[in-house]
């Protein structure tokens, strides 16, 4: 398949799945195998184009991000307090990811391991949705340091490709007392710093793999993932107002079963 077509497909996959509880990394690994685009360069390409999806969220929530630069007396999630909350959420996964970066890439970036994570995450979603929870946090301004750090520990689950960062943080938030819509909104915002750092670190470690001719493919993947993520986040917010996370769990289980059949070993 043409390299440009592959870049477009991977950009669409990245953007549509990055902020949904279905695992963008898992889908990119699977798409890469189907397209024949695998190896160290492919792994890094799939991580770097996440910047497009990150930028989409920054633009969509620009008022909240700008509010982090200066405290707003009417918004508790602003200024230094907002930055500290995001830092608490990012810290656990940043530490674990830094220490386990090589092991994760070496052992968990494969279709079968992704399928196992998809299935495990699906079961977790169904269990969380079946639980009766007391909602104690309804808006971003209700988020406490304890909630932010707790979500951060749950985010560590997303280091297993296929589990899904958004699934881990949304479920974590719900278990800790956040309203489902708040858990999703905070998941979007909290993704930006951790994803930016992870992407920058990966690019620093692997930029030597790319040649000048690869820059066009990276740019295409970046732009496509930006617009795909914009559509996905808008649609996900609307969907959560009408349903639970269960449809995503069933989708994950079906996809995991298909992967196990196609890649039995």
Structural domain of 183: 3-262
DSSP, collapsed to helix, strand or coil, labels residue 105 as: helix
Using CA atoms, how far apart are residues 12 and 24, in angstroms rounded to an integer? 10
Chain mean pLDDT for the chain: 88
pLDDT digits (tens, 9 = 90+) for 202-228: 777 777 777 777 788 888 999 999 999
Q: What angle, 0 to 180 degrees and rounded to 10, lies between the N-to-C axes of helices 111-130 and 246-262? A: 160
| Residue of higher predicted confidence among 230 and 31 | 230
Going by C-alpha positions, the residue among 6, 11, 1, 2 that lies closest to residue 222 is 11
Structural domain total, the chain? 1
> Positive or negative, the Cα torsion across 16, 18, 22, 23?
positive
Q: State pTM to two decimals.
A: 0.87
* 40 contact partners, CB below 8 Å, separation of at least 6: 206, 209
Q: What is the pLDDT of residue 43?
A: 74
Q: What is the pLDDT of residue 126?
A: 96
- State which H helix or E strand residue 215 sits in: helix 214-240
Q: What is the pLDDT of residue 62?
A: 92
Among all chains, which residue has been given the structure tokens 């909290």?
A: 190
pLDDT at residue 1 tops 50: no
- State which H helix or E strand residue 179 sits in: none
pLDDT digits (tens, 9 = 90+) for 110-135: 788 888 999 999 999 999 999 988 89
Strand partners, 72: 75
pLDDT digits (tens, 9 = 90+) for 138-195: 999 999 999 999 999 999 998 888 899 999 999 999 999 999 999 999 999 999 988 8
């Amino acid at each position: 398949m043409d390299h440009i077509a592959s870049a477009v497909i991977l950009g669409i996959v990245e953007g549509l799945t990055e902020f949904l509880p279905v695992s963008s990394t898992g889908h990119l690994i699977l798409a890469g195998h189907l397209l024949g685009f695998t190896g160290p360069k492919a792994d890094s390409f799939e991580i770097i184009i996440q910047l497009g999806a990150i930028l989409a969220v920054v633009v969509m929530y620009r008022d909240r991000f700008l509010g982090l630069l200066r405290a707003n007396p009417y918004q508790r999630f602003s200024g230094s307090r907002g930055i500290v909350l995001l830092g608490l959420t990012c810290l656990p996964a940043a530490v674990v990811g830094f220490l386990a970066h090589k092991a994760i890439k070496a052992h968990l970036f494969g279709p079968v391991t992704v399928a196992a994570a998809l299935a495990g995450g699906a079961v977790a979603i169904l269990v969380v949705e079946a639980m009766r929870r007391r909602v104690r946090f309804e808006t971003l301004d209700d988020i406490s340091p304890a909630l932010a750090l707790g979500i951060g520990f749950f985010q560590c689950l997303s280091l297993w490709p296929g589990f899904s960062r958004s699934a881990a943080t949304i479920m974590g938030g719900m278990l800790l007392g956040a309203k489902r819509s708040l858990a999703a909104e905070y998941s979007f915002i909290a993704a930006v710093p951790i994803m930016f750092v992870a992407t920058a670190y990966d690019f620093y470690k692997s930029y030597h793999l790319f040649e000048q001719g690869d820059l066009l493919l990276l740019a295409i993947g970046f732009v496509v993932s930006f617009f795909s993520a914009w559509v996905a986040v808008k649609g996900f917010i609307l969907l959560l107002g009408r349903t639970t996370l269960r449809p995503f769990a069933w989708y994950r289980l079906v996809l995991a079963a298909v992967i196990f059949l196609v890649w039995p070993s």
